[in-house]
Amino acid sequence: MVKRKSLLAALTITTAVGFSAIAPVNVLHVLAADKFNDIEITAASKFAIQELAKQNVLSGYSDTEFKPNQNITRGELAKIAALSMYVNLNTDKKQSLQDVNESDWSFVYINGLLNAGIMKADNNRFQPSATVTHEQLVEIAAALLKQDKSAVQTLFGTTYTAGKAATRAEAAQLFYAVQQAAIPQITQVKVLNAVAVQITFSAPLTAENTDVEKAKQNFAFSDGLMLENIPQLKTGAKATYIVPTSPQKAGTSYTVSYKGQKSGAFNGSDIKIPFKAVEQVSNDTIELQSYLADGVTDYQYIIALYSGKRNGLDFAVDENNTYNGKQLTVIPSMRLKQVTLTDAAGASLTATYVPFTQSTDGKQEPKFRLANGVTLKPGSVYTLSSPWSTFGGQTLTAKSIAPLVIQKADAVSATSINVTLTADPQDELFAGRSVTLTAPDGTKLTAQYKFTSRQGAVGVFDIQNNDKLLSGVTYTVTAVNGWADSNSITLKSVQ
């Protein structure tokens, strides 16, 4: 078999057969896929088996045995076809079969495919133990995609032989290839607020959309609107995503398309995210505070990627983002977002979101920082504004805040160091910070904080620009732009 061809680039998954509750590759727990010890057939088939096992589309005969060369049965194929292509498994309409009972493991999949007209029974007999030919395998995949068989057959490559019994490995590879080639369709667009929309697709998006640059290529908005971070699947949803955008113009009619397919439409929102409080946390950084009790939630608490990973603070909302009877305002990813601070004289400063700070330590307090070297003027009163948020009419009176204090720095490797503060800051105050490492001969290296690496008072800083610490050299450590007091701090590189 071969990888998908460009001929299939236009394949789409339509709403004709409905969809099952299955999450995309990047959020599901890996089950026994990494334990199969008999799938070293070809790299492609091994990968397909592992990926479909991650999705719970297929399973082995045991935790370690998949039997890839065994002929696939109609019952096994029903499960792979139904789950990989998101067939509706609702059992309200139950087929009456002489050779498949409702209690059989395969009934729900067989029933779904019969109801969708994808597979057929003969005189009320499905023959779940019968083998499947290459041709029949292609026919079923083509029926699911509503595409010509010749297009789907290209995925089989030179190994395709009409009439030959298909193996479990061949079925896995074909349906994984078709699954990846198919393009989900936008079925609904709901505007959430001035910087977020909620988009429902006909099927889950593929893992390529976890790369922000690739996702930006896949999503096309009209009228200058831009995708600003990756779409995130909502907890408990089949294919509904929170999609962060650049600030929308209220009332503007926008369209959004995915991979050039039919677009969805929505009107730009005038709903701004309400922050209850603003606090200065350093001489160049502020944080915006919001609370679930006020009907505001950060998206990280309601997405599948972080489900079960927020120390019990995560939860699921319905399609209208309602929780405990209250509809919530959702704060999407703050990536690239900015706020303006204007003093009494009309002079303005711009603060930009600090990555990975919007939902840390159990708080909804995204940080925004001024440009390098720029600080707030103590005593000045600043009014905050932005096209996407409100601040309850609050102003911020700047104050002088003592910098953090570095207690020590230790070399971990030639490319990484640990920086330890005198006390746990109890917040993500390392984010975006750097230190300069100066050798006795004046050579300078820059080490930047590794996002989300903080453990209490200790943060990991990585050496930048492909530089390395020189063996046995003692470096003087200085905080860039004075974010921390590093008086007399040195580190000796690893020998």
pLDDT by residue, tens only, the chain of 495 residues: 444 444 444 455 443 444 333 333 333 333 444 578 788 767 778 888 888 888 888 888 888 889 999 999 999 999 999 998 888 888 788 999 999 999 999 999 999 999 999 999 999 999 999 999 999 999 999 888 877 888 788 888 788 998 999 999 999 999 988 887 777 889 999 999 999 999 999 878 877 889 999 999 999 999 999 999 999 999 999 889 999 999 999 999 999 999 888 788 999 999 999 999 999 999 999 999 999 999 999 999 999 999 988 888 899 999 999 999 999 999 999 999 999 999 999 999 999 999 999 987 778 999 999 999 999 999 999 999 999 999 988 899 999 999 999 999 999 999 999 999 999 988 889 999 999 999 999 999 999 999 989 999 999 999 999 999 999 999 999 999 999 999 889 998 876
Domain ranges of the chain: 43-182, 186-268, 273-301+321-398, 404-493
> What per-residue confidence (pLDDT) applies to 34?
57
The letter for the amino acid at 31 is L
d(CA 144, CA 39): 27
In Å, what is the CA distance from 384 to each residue of 264, 271, 275, 282, 291?
Answer: 34, 17, 11, 17, 19
> What per-residue confidence (pLDDT) applies to 273?
97
Q: Where are the beta strands (DSSP E) in 70-153?
A: none
Phi, psi of 114 (to 5 degrees): -65, -45
Helices 74-84 and 134-145, interaxial angle, to 10°?
Answer: 30
Helix (H) or strand (E) run with residue 202 in it: none
- Quick one: tokens of 247? 């600030």
> What per-residue confidence (pLDDT) applies to 416?
97
Which top CATH class is 404-493? mainly beta
CATH code of 273-301+321-398, in short, is 2.60.40
- Quick one: tokens of 345? 């004289």
Residue 137 three-state SS: helix
- Quick one: tokens of 11? 């394949």
| Cβ proximity of 228 and 244 under 8 Å | yes
Length of the chain: 495
Distance spanning both ends of the chain, measured CA to CA: 51
Helices 168-181 and 74-84, interaxial angle, to 10°?
Answer: 20
Select from 359, 339, 360, 361 the least CA-distant residue to 350.
339
Would you say the C-alpha torsion 312, 318, 324, 328 has a positive or negative sign?
positive
Beta pairing, strands 219-221 & 253-258 = antiparallel
Which residues have C-beta within 8 Å of that of residue 214, sequence separation ≥ 6?
208
| Cβ proximity of 142 and 151 under 8 Å | yes
> What per-residue confidence (pLDDT) applies to 11?
52
Q: Check for a shared fold between 273-301+321-398 and 404-493.
A: yes
- Quick one: tokens of 92? 């309200």
Angle formed at CA 27 by CA 334 and CA 40, multiple of 5 degrees: 140
Q: Which residues pair with 297 in a beta bridge?
A: 330
Within 13 A of 304's CA, how many CA atoms are on the CB side? 22
pTM above 0.75, yes or no: no
Which residues have C-beta within 8 Å of that of residue 137, sequence separation ≥ 6?
72, 77, 156, 166, 170, 171, 174
> What per-residue confidence (pLDDT) applies to 495?
66
Which top CATH class is 186-268? mainly beta
| Cβ proximity of 145 and 178 under 8 Å | yes
d(CA 357, CA 333): 10
Q: What is the DSSP string of 217-244?
A: HHEEESTT--B-S--EEBTT-SSEEEEE
In the sheet that 381-385 helps form, which strands lie side by side, from edge to edge? 277-282, 285-289, 367-369, 348-353, 338-342, 381-385, 395-397
In Å, what is the CA distance from 16 to each residue of 115, 144, 146, 203?
Answer: 11, 9, 9, 12
Residue 397 three-state SS: strand
| Cβ proximity of 151 and 162 under 8 Å | no
> What per-residue confidence (pLDDT) applies to 36?
82
For the beta carbon of residue 50, count every other beta carbon within 10 angstroms: 18
